[in-house]
Amino acid sequence: MSAFRVAGALWIIAGLSSAALLVFVLDNPLFIALMAGGAIVGLAIGALLIARAGADVMRWSNIAGVAWLIAFGGVTFTQLDKPIGQLFSVVWLTAFGVAGALVAYRGRGEASTEL
């Protein structure tokens, strides 16, 4: 399995997790926007990495990975005083999005041969 397919699967897991957690944050408009955006970005980049792996998609994955780390990493710090389940959910999202970006970045050598 190529690095881009693994990265795509990680991004899809992050996107689906973000969509699933959207149900639990209906009381906070900022978290609604963050989770909805995370679902859209995660699923879109995951699908692109699986279907059309290439240098451009890898670049978008890297940009989204940095934004993902800033957004969900920041939320992680705001959730440190919350119950462990709530904290784990945000750590889960952060980890899968960043892992997807890192795996795509590590597979950058395949970008020219995947086309």
115 inside domain: no
State the residue range of the domain holding 77: 3-109
In this structure, is residue 21 part of a structural domain? yes
**Angle at CA 93, nearest 5°, toward 44 and 22?**
75
Give me the pLDDT at residue 37, please.
Answer: 93
The DSSP letter of residue 107 is: T
Does residue 66 belong to any structural domain of this protein? yes
pTM: 0.87
In a domain, 114, yes or no: no
Alpha helices in 1-115 (DSSP H): 3-21, 29-51, 55-78, 84-106, 111-114
In a domain, 30, yes or no: yes
Q: Is 88 a domain residue?
A: yes
How high is the pLDDT of residue 115? 45
Residues of the chain scoring pLDDT < 50: 114-115
In a domain? residue 53:
yes
Alpha carbon distance 28, 8 (integer Å): 29
- The total number of structural domains in the chain stands at 1
